[in-house]
Amino acid sequence: MESKYLGTVNLDGGPGGGMMDATITYDGSPLSVRLEIDYPGRMENTDFFGDTTIDDVDNVLGNLEFVDNLARTTIAAGIMRAGTAADQMFTAWMRNNDRDADEKDDFLQRLRPTRLVITPDGGKVNRDRVVVSYALTDTSVSGSISVRFVEPTGPQLDPAPRGGYS
């Protein structure tokens, strides 16, 4: 099977699950992409993992600007809620850079997607379809913020790491 963005799709795994790692360029920067298939054995009989699935994956990769905008909107909303990963990273960024609370737009512009995970077949067990992780380009704060696109509820922020961000 051939993806317009990933090339030939070769899963590393077996009946318990398979995955493929690749790197694409998004917005001028490398973006690590992982395709995960949870039930490749089940798909042999249903032809789930075929051209339709690859078309779905290519649809995500071909519309990364849309995915990125939704994720950034989720992060921006998270900045406004105390204790979220977005709020904690923003607070650490302000502290480390002597910034003001009104510089949220600057913070959001400095976030770059670093990892994208696509899981088209999770079913009821794994409802994530896409997970995008962001890190700051200025490296003033270590760690990342992840946004999960969960079926059927939509984008959600992952919790902050233990100990927060520094």
- List the end-to-end C-alpha distance of the chain, in Å, as a whole number: 43
The predicted-structure confidence for 75-108, as pLDDT tens digits, reads as follows: 999 999 999 999 999 999 999 998 887 899 999 9
Maximum alpha-carbon separation in the chain? 58
The predicted-structure confidence for 105-160, as pLDDT tens digits, reads as follows: 999 999 999 999 998 876 556 778 899 999 999 889 999 999 999 988 889 999 99
Does residue 28 sit in helix, strand or coil?
coil
Give the global pTM: 0.89
pLDDT at 58 over 90: yes
